[in-house]
Structure 1
Amino acid sequence: MKASHLLAYTPHSIIHIPLKFNMKNVFYAYLLFAKVILSKENDCTDTNTCTLTRENGDSHKNVNMYSRESNEYITKINKAIADYQPCVEKNCGCHAGTITKALQPFKNGITKKMIDTVRQYGTKYQIIDKKIYRDPSCLFPSRCAGIEYFLKENIQKIPDLEMIVNCRDWPQINTHHHNFGPVFSFSRTDDYLDIMYPAWSFWAGGPAISLYPTGLGRWDQHRKSINDASHVWPWSEKKSQGFFRGSRTSSERDPLVLLSREDPDLVDAQYTKNQAWKSPKDTLNAEPAKEISLEDHCQYKYLFNFRGVAASFRFKHLFLCKSLVFHVGDEWQEFFYDSLKPWVHFIPVAKNPSTDELRKLLNFFKEHDHLAKEIAERGQNHIWEHLKMKDVHCYWRKLLRKYAKLLKFEVKLDPNLIQV
């Protein structure tokens, strides 16, 4: 058993509340209300403000401990942890619900006609007698290579099947689409019926920048290198700043960048170049910043994740720093997102937040450092334990085996395909 702490307010103070939980199976959440006698330095002489002593020994006067936002954040965190049920660890059980949800629209079976109807939305694959066949050309060769790695590694456990795999960033089958059929995509929103598979970037491809010219790739290698960096920058050594680097693929990132310009001590958020960059107008009227490696993100306590064109590839990497992850918007998803719980593993931020909202959130966690550290540790532990490469392999196997059971036709080799 490991003792952690929540925070709660009494009429006279902030108190730490012990929260005991079993890291493998159960979180036991309970509250202990007690009367606390404050020291002279921390005595509240006003009903609304106090001198709060932080864990690093610094004092910060006139903290409004009874603000609406502070009470709201505390309540959400306590409730989220009390309601949290750890997922099943074995056989990639944390992600089983995603497979069930993804295949639900096709519960009555998948016909050859349905697949032919959506043929134009991706690359056609067939698996027959433990051999893989594919369209002669792939729109994004490195992305197909990443997909095919997982197919080859699991081929002995995958039955015959036929599928359409979308390698584009954007999902294809809208819920109101007149063409209904199964298309596999790495990311989607609830407005789409695409079946989520683990992105190619777990092995190859991904965003290509100067630091990663062939794309992010190799999740197994990043797990090691970023985890190593987290030990170089333990919580006590991290900068108490928000941090973000990325191109301006979405205007939803603008408020944090603007807040950084207003209050650079609170957050360091800057835009970098992308392939379409032409002038400072493309980086919100500022010169583009240098790119920062994923490992160097570990220097900061608060890391921000935003959607890009679709879901952001960096989300899973940020947790490995053992920093507190702020995830903006909940529309875009990848297959592992549902296993992560807001306020338990990360801090949810509403889509298109104002600079004022972002400022309040950051200031709250700066004042509640112990709480920020605990959420960061839970997030890192979850990704470390439940998003290993073996979990990605397991998801592919389970997904394709359940998908194959829904096929209502015998898969026959398409002579137009090539063996890979």
Structure 2
Amino acid sequence: MNALQGPLHIYRAVAGAANGWTRVSSGRRCQTLFKVLVKSLSPKELVRIHVPKPLDRNDGTFLMRYRMYESVNEGLKIEVLYGDKHVAQSPYILKGPVYHEYCDCPEEDPQAWQKTLSCPIKEPQIAKDFASFPSINLQQMLNEVPERFGDERGAIVHYTVLNNHIYRRSLGKYTDFKMFSDEILLSLARKVLLPDLEFYINLGDWPLEHRKVNETPGPIPIISWCGSLDSRDIILPTYDITHSTLEAMRGVTNDLLSIQGNTGPSWINKTEKAFFRGRDSREERLQLVQLSKENPELLDAGITGYFFFQEKEKELGKAKLIGFFDFFKYKYQVNMDGTVAAYRYPYLMLGDSLVLKQDSPYYEHFYMGLEPWKHYVPIKRNLSDLLEKIKWAKENDEEAKKIAKDGQLTARDLLQPHRLYCYYYRVLQKYAQRQSSKPEIRDGMELVPQPNDDTSICQCSRKKSSREEL
């Protein structure tokens, strides 16, 4: 099989290690005959490894995931088989030790860890975010953040990372989403030695710091999940992307990996309309539904839940909920802001439909890697050119298909699980380098413990060094 040549990429969930992808011709027959086996390199090491079915990305590639329930010392052997024959340069050897997700065994050389994950040398968004903060005054943060953002309605969590342990205290009433920041920080700490640092994460939707650099006092580096053109927050991957990456092997359907194996019919068989479903979280969404009513041959848009504009439900109607995978039955996807940036955007980009993206002052951490007319088609914020852009796509099918494909491939690269871990680490590293004083465990902070997974065996072979020895 000539189609079965090329490098292999396999995701080790949930640790976020990404090593490549398998090139294989698609189709039912191929899916039946194609399989991947993951097992211990040593017959003496018997480990539990879950390997679900391959995700067919319908472009000649499959996505493989596996989850280990024990660690192995010798390493892993990965066999890619078509029928009973090795293909795609199989077998692959991952030399050990290889640790499972919940094994607390951090690499003490962050540079070696980043090299292993092939972390990008540059992250333009991180460079832009930290340009406003050549130094970080922890005392100023301690004085200002609780007063400015930590009232009863606040959604701020104060973290200290010290000797690779995570400590935190909540400021405000709306901090339940700390479970996402807790989990990614703990997961990182199990994999690599984190720098000592002290910082505040905003768990709310809107970025908080709107002071300009030349103001007195100047801005402070609040960490948020969403940025905007008029704010100075430092951006991390959203809680949704974070949760998706961590949950990729725990049965969640709409994660960033499984979405790639459920992109609907091939391009030529998709319904030639633009599609949207969502809540009424922005007035332009109501305008979109009205456009849909007036132009049903071009657009199928509906509101699935009314909260902000309940009086409009009788006029516009309420659409039935539809599974996200079914979105990709349509050739064009309309991406519109919700309260801030629409967190469905990465999922839409990973499909194989053309994304029509509303102009927005809001952004997520990966937006700088995408270009209009190369990876998506831009539409004006007031939607005045939406119908024109849909008509353009219909009249220029090959070009629309190419933009959709280029956007999909770029999103695959930007949103790989290991890239999320790299991005988190780089933000923490840059932040720590700029602190003007040593972080401390403050009054009211509690230790966030590592999960106790008694069902998984963890034998860490790395020598534990104290901070003074590093």
Cα distance in 2 for partners of 1:219, 1:197 equals: 22
Partner amino acid, structure 2, of 1:223: L
User: How far does residue 175 in structure 1 lie from its aligned partner after superposition?
Assistant: 2.6
1:402 offset after TM fit, Å? 0.8
2:203 alignment counterpart: 167
Q: Which aligned pairs between 1:328-343 and structure 2 lie closer than 5 A? A: 328-343=358-373
TM-score normalised to structure 2 length: 0.63
Distance in structure 2 (CA, Å) of the matches to 1:413 and 1:162: 9
Shift of 1:130: 0.7
Structure with more helix by fraction: 1
Q: How does 1:217-296 map to 2 (within 5 A)?
A: 222-230=255-263, 232-274=264-306, 276=307, 279=310, 281-283=311-313, 285-296=315-326
Letter in 2 for 1:398: R
Hey, what's the Cα distance between the residues in 2 that align with 1:269 and 1:290? 11
Which one is further off, 408-417 or 250-259? 250-259
Listed one character per residue, the Cα deviations across residues 150-198 of structure 1 (whole Å, up to 9, x for unaligned) are: 1112123321111010000011111358573111111121210111011
The amino acid across from 1:100 in the alignment is A
Cα pair distance change 1:115/1:311, threshold 3 Å? farther
CA gap of 1:391–1:360, structure 2 versus 1, over 3 A, is: same
Q: CA deviation at 1:306?
A: 0.8
**One of 165, 168, 183 as aligned partner of 1:131:** 165
Q: How many residues are aligned here?
A: 317
Give, in whole Å, the separation in 2 of the partners of 1:375 and 1:346. Answer: 6
Structure 1 gap ranges (5+): 1-89, 206-213
Is 1:103 the counterpart of 2:134? The answer is no
Partner of 1:196: 235
SS at match of 1:404: helix
Asked if structure 1 preserves the Cα contact closer than 8 Å seen for 2:259 and 2:350, the reply is yes
Percent identical pairs in the alignment equals: 28
Q: 8 Å contact 1:115–1:182 — kept in the other structure?
A: no
Alpha-carbon contact 2:253-2:259 (below 8 Å) kept: no
CA deviation string 1:339-398 (max 9, x = no partner): 1111100011121122xx211111111011111111000111111122111111110000
Distance 1:397 1:138 in 2: 26
8 Å CA contact 2:274–2:330 kept in 1: the answer is yes
1:359 is paired with a residue whose SS is helix
Match of 1:302 in 2: 332
1:218 and 1:96, CA in 2 relative to 1: closer, same or farther beyond 3 A?
A: farther
Q: Does 1:365 align with 2:393?
A: yes
- Cα distance change, pair 309–218 in 1 and its aligned pair in 2 (3 A): farther
Is the 1:202–1:218 contact (alpha carbons within 8 Å) kept by the matching residues of 2?
A: no
Q: Deviations over 1:224-275 (max 9, x none)?
A: 3322221x4110111000000011111122332222101112110111114x
The 5 A counterparts of 1:76-91 are 91=118
CA distance in 2 between partners of 1:277 and 1:198 (Å) = 27
Q: CA RMSD in A?
A: 2.6
Could you tell which deviates more after superposition, 233-242 or 92-101? Answer: 92-101
Q: Which residue of 392, 410, 426 corresponds with 1:398?
A: 426
In structure 2, give the amino acid aligned to 1:226: I
SS at match of 1:272: strand
Give yes or no for contact 2:180–2:242 (8 Å, CA) kept in 1: yes
Q: Which structure 2 residues correspond to residues 40-51 of structure 1 after superposition, within 5 A?
A: none
Tell whether the 8 Å contact from 1:95 to 1:335 is kept in structure 2 after alignment: no
Write the distance in 2 (CA, Å) between the matches of 1:278 and 1:344: 35
Match of 2:349 among 314, 319, 330: 319
State whether residues 197 and 335 of structure 1, in contact with CA within 8 Å, keep that contact through their aligned partners in structure 2.
yes
Three-state SS of the structure 1 residue aligned to 2:195 is: coil
Q: Flag the 1:412–1:112 CA change in 2: closer, same or farther, 3 A.
A: same
Aligned partner (choices 440, 446, 451) of residue 412 of structure 1:
440
Pair 220,185 (structure 1): closer, same or farther in 2 beyond 3 Å: farther
CA separation in 2, counterparts of 1:309 and 1:333?
A: 12
- 8 Å contact 2:135–2:436 — kept in the other structure? no
Deviations, residues 50-95 of structure 1 (Å, cap 9, x unaligned) = xxxxxxxxxxxxxxxxxxxxxxxxxxxxxxxxxxxxxxxx844397
**Cα offset for 1:108?**
3.5
The answer on whether the counterparts of 1:134 and 1:417 sit within 8 Å (CA) in structure 2 is yes
CA distance in 2, matches of 1:337, 1:180: 23
Q: Which runs of 4+ in 1 moved over 6 A?
A: 217-220
Are the aligned partners of 1:161 and 1:407 in contact in 2 as well (CA < 8 Å)?
yes
Q: Residue 172 of structure 1 contacts residue 183 of structure 1 at CA under 8 Å; is this kept in 2?
A: yes
Give the gaps of 5 or more residues in structure 2.
1-116, 150-155, 449-470
Distance in 2 (CA, whole Å) between partners of 1:186 and 1:163 is 14
Give, as a single letter, the amino acid of the residue that structure 1 aligns with 2:199.
M
CA displacement 1:268-298 (0-9 Å, x = unmatched): 0111114x3684x244722211122221111
CA contact (8 A) 1:203 1:219 kept: no
Deviation at 1:139, TM superposition (A): 4.2
Structure 1 residue 220: Cα displacement: 9.1
Which residue in the other structure is 1:37 paired with?
none
Aligned to 1:8: none
1:70-127 per-position Cα deviation (integer Å, ceiling 9, x unaligned): xxxxxxxxxxxxxxxxxxxx84439701111111111144342234312352210110
Whether the aligned pair in 1 keeps the contact of 2:162 and 2:195 (CA below 8 Å) is yes
Q: What SS does the aligned partner of 2:198 have?
A: strand
TM-score, normalized by length of structure 1? 0.70
Structure 2 CA distance for aligned equivalents of residues 92 and 143 of structure 1: 27
Mapping 1:174-185, distance limit 5 Å:
174-176=210-212, 180-185=219-224
Deviates more, 1:329-338 or 1:176-185: 176-185
Query: How far apart, in 1, do the equivalents of 2:357 and 2:309 lie?
Result: 29
